[in-house]
């Protein structure tokens, strides 16, 4: 009994589907008719049309073909006037050929050198100096006196006396420069040097007063 009740329900639902489809189609057609009547389609056409017109207005114009250049107007030829013979202008005589200068470049000038200092003037040689002397034979100077006490005591030695001799050869001053170690011998040598005569000293050949050292030896024989 249960299976008999399910069969009428399935049959009823299958019959309702075509009815629903037909009703939907009718609704679509009715909506389209209503839209035509209300002017909805006219508005859509008005909106689309200006867009197409604007697109056509924005299109760039096509470049015009350039016209070929027109030929220049033909000018009538004019006969040239006959040339009038004229005398040739007198030309100045050609200059004489000048010998070409030597093309060899001149050697470069030497760079200026620093001026060398002038040599110092050479000093004249110093005049020759001749010292006084007591050895000349013509002076006849006597031998120094040996003190007797020094002989008995065996005193001996060498004394150097410094003597200032004038231009006349006379001893003006005398002093002991080197002692013998014995006072008696030193005094005897000092007296002898003051008593002697001398050849005066000279400078450049001219007599000049000057100091001179006179050695005197005391030696026992």
Number of neighbouring beta carbons within 10 Å of residue 163: 22
3-state SS string over 47-61?
Answer: HHHHHHHHHHHHCCC
pLDDT digits (tens, 9 = 90+) for 179-218: 999 999 999 999 999 999 999 999 999 999 999 999 999 9
Residue 155, phi then psi, degrees to nearest 5: -80, 135
Which residue in this structure is represented by tokens 């056409």?
Answer: 45
Contacts of 172 (CB under 8 A, 6+ apart): 164, 165, 166, 209
Distance CA 217, CA 161 (A): 11
Distance CA 128, CA 67 (A): 126
Q: What is the pLDDT of residue 39?
A: 57
Q: How many CA atoms lie within 13 A of 134 on its CB side?
A: 23
> Computed over its alpha carbons, how large is the radius of gyration of the chain?
80
Helix (H, G, I), strand (E, B), or coil: what is residue 23? helix
Q: Find, among 194, 101, 218, the residue nearest to 141 by Cα.
A: 194
Low-confidence residues of the chain: pLDDT under 70: 1-18, 29, 32, 34-114
Q: What is the pLDDT of residue 158?
A: 96
Q: What pTM did the predictor assign?
A: 0.45
Q: What is the pLDDT of residue 22?
A: 74
Q: What is the pLDDT of residue 19?
A: 73
Map out the domains of the chain with their CATH numbers.
Answer: 17-58 (no CATH), 129-218 (3.30.2420.10)
Q: What is the pLDDT of residue 168?
A: 94
Q: What is the pLDDT of residue 178?
A: 96
Render 176-214 in DSSP notation, one character per residue: EEE--S-HHHHHHHHHHHHH-B-BPPEETTEE--EEEEE
């Amino acid at each position: 009994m249960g299976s008999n009740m399910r069969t009428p329900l399935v049959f009823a639902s299958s019959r309702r589907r075509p009815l629903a489809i037909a009703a939907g189609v009718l609704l679509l057609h009715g909506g389209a008719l209503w839209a035509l009547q209300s002017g909805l389609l006219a508005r859509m056409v008005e909106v689309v049309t200006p867009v197409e017109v604007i697109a056509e207005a924005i299109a760039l114009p096509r470049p015009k073909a350039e016209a070929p250049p027109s030929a220049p107007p033909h000018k009538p030829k004019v006969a040239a006037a006959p040339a009038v013979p004229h005398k040739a202008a007198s030309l100045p005589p050609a200059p004489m050929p000048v010998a070409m200068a030597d093309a060899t470049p001149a050697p470069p000038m030497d760079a200026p050198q620093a001026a060398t200092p002038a040599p110092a003037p050479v000093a004249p040689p110093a005049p020759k100096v001749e010292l006084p002397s007591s050895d000349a034979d013509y002076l006849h100077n006597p031998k120094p006196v040996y003190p007797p006490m020094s002989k008995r005591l065996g005193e001996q030695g060498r004394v150097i006396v410094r003597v200032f001799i004038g231009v006349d050869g006379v001893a003006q001053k005398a002093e002991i420069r080197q002692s013998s170690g014995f006072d008696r011998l030193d005094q005897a040598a000092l007296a002898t040097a003051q008593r002697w005569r001398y050849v005066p000293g000279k400078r450049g050949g001219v007599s000049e007063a000057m100091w001179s050292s006179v050695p005197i030896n005391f030696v026992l024989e």
